[in-house]
Amino acid sequence: MSTHTGRAGSAFPPVPLALLLLALVALFTAPPLSWAKAPVSGTHGMVVANHYLAAEAGLRILQKGGTAADAAVATAAVLGVVEPWFSNILGGGTWALYYEKKTGSVKALDGVGPAPTHATAEFFRNPDLSAYGIHQANVPGAWDGWIQLLKEYGRLSLKDILAPAIELAENGVPVSPDFAEWNERLKVEIASMPDTAAIYLKDGKPHKAGDVIYQKDMAKTYRELVEIEQKNLGKGRKAALQAASDHYYRGPIARKIVDFSKKQGGLFDLKDFESFHVEFVAPVRVTYRGYEVYACPPNSQGITQVLALNILEGYDLKKMKRNDPETIHLLSEAQKLAFADRFQYIGDPKFVKIPLDKLLSKEYAAAQRKRIDMNKAMEWPIPGGIDTRDLGTTTFHIMDPEGNAMAVTTSQGSNFLVIPGTGINMNNRMPMFNTDEGNPNLVRPGKKVRHTSNPSMALKDGKVFMLWGATGNDRQPQTQLWGLLNIVEWGMSPQESVDAGRVIINTFPLARHPHPVPNTLEMEPRKFPAQVVEALKAKGHKAVTRGTFGTMNMIMVDTRTGLMIGGAESISSAGVATW
């Protein structure tokens, strides 16, 4: 039995965490390296995550006999410790897809919370009122989402599941280059909140890569939730887990959040938390060349990826070279149409009517195809087709030994804002709402924001073929679309797909307020020759090159043999853990 995890494909067996941390401190003092990770495969179970300590934690849970659900919560909890500006199981929101082997079914978990009681469009139209602060947070839905997942599909206790995160938060984690970069970028905001600054600044200055950071209040809160579960085990496992959720939403944790919110001029009321419950929902599904492709439904933006996929099914992409101007133009135009529909139709389905069946139909895709001119790029405004700043996110994927699988994208936004005494880092999702009357994503009390988190899953003949996801708000469905096509159309391995050059369009109102429309086509430098960029400009694209953007991770499964192959972002702290 062995594990393979870490940057650049390093491999090591399980070791005591304290020794691992000492080694990692030395590793993180160097800048990130940009070589490719070695291909990693396994037969029993696999976890791919945006940080290899999280992947290692998830694998530990699988090796203890846990399910994909158990491992997912452990992985997410550790990610909240090692990259706290991106996600937090107690402060953010989560969308996930769960495949249950025994039934062959796929469910979507909507772990996104609503806007607070006192949220209004008028408030967020005022930039002086809506700047950095607790009022940028919606109700954190992730914790109840994880609890409902464990009640439905889990096996282990919170005591086992949260142990790796508690250990890391208590004993310290090394600051990665990414961590240090975001710490520097948000230092002014961090300094404005004393309890946040006490953790995320060192002598009033941002932490440097290689520093060790301690999050003892976070560890204390995790222990508190474990104790509540343990005290209630006599009532049964599910009741004990629910008690841990109630302790948050209908107990002292919610009261601390609301008290802090009121002191800071925030928008929360206790009833926002007391009435909140997460539910499983039906995913969005399309077929593509014999594969079943699943995405999260609205309020998620997951439909954007599959709308573009439906359009592209009408083209013979295998005959087109991936990095040719014609291919890039085609994929860009298909995605522009998909994002136009996102803007015009997608919001919280409890507040707006969404013509999902028509949007997802092959007939609609055929009509959309006719709108693409292979010689001319579209620019915004692009009407919907039916006649009637980087935001922080993290993504991970799990296959357990029983064949159950999860694709997860969880996010709080790029934010450092700690609730005093809890260690909980709150989300800043409210600026993702729109403030224009008539927009389906218009902010309203109790309404869920159009969430950018949208993990993906593909089945072949009823078996898991691929789990994948990306980071970077509007870039997520775009990166994921390319990720699938890299494998299905152009025969890449998971690692090749993850490392391939990325192209991102911005020809639509971006997700974050004030929703600008750059009308640009961004390309990673050094991965596309100058003549390709110039050819795209000749078609009318405002093509620009810029540094790397976003991350992607994935698992591909050989449906004949069950062999799992992982791909993790080479230029980040992502890793694959398997055995």
- Whole-angstrom distance, CA of residue 95 vs CA of residue 308: 20
Q: Is residue 5 annotated as a catalytic residue, yes or no?
A: no
For residues 288 and 488, is the Cβ–Cβ distance under 8 A? yes
H helices of 29-106, in order, are: 52-63, 68-82
Q: Exposed (0-12), middle (13-18) or buried (19+): which is 252, by Cβ within 10 Å? A: exposed
Q: How many helices (H) and strands (E) does the chain have?
A: 21, 21
Of residues 501, 498, 508, 507, the one with CA closest to residue 532: 501
Return the SS3 of 362: helix
Residue 533 neighbours by CB distance under 10 Å: 19
- Whole-angstrom distance, CA of residue 227 vs CA of residue 250: 16
- Whole-angstrom distance, CA of residue 310 vs CA of residue 360: 8
Return the SS3 of 190: helix
Distance from the Cα of residue 520 to its chain's centroid: 24
Q: Residue 343 corresponds to which amino acid?
A: F
DSSP letter string, 240-258: HHHHHHHHHHTSHHHHHHH
- Whole-angstrom distance, CA of residue 145 vs CA of residue 111: 5
Of the residues 67, 221, 304, 393, which is catalytic?
A: 393
Of residues 486, 492, 480, 488, the one with CA closest to residue 551: 480
- Whole-angstrom distance, CA of residue 430 vs CA of residue 452: 12
C-alpha distances in angstroms, 180 versus 55, 390, 473?
A: 21, 16, 21
H helices of 139-192, in order, are: 142-153, 158-161, 163-171, 177-185, 187-191
For residues 309 and 359, is the Cβ–Cβ distance under 8 A? no
- Whole-angstrom distance, CA of residue 441 vs CA of residue 232: 40
Backbone phi and psi for residue 48, each to the nearest 5 degrees, phi listed first: -120, 125
- Whole-angstrom distance, CA of residue 215 vs CA of residue 545: 38
The two beta strands, 405-411 and 394-399, are antiparallel
- Whole-angstrom distance, CA of residue 502 vs CA of residue 495: 14
Residues forming the active site: 393
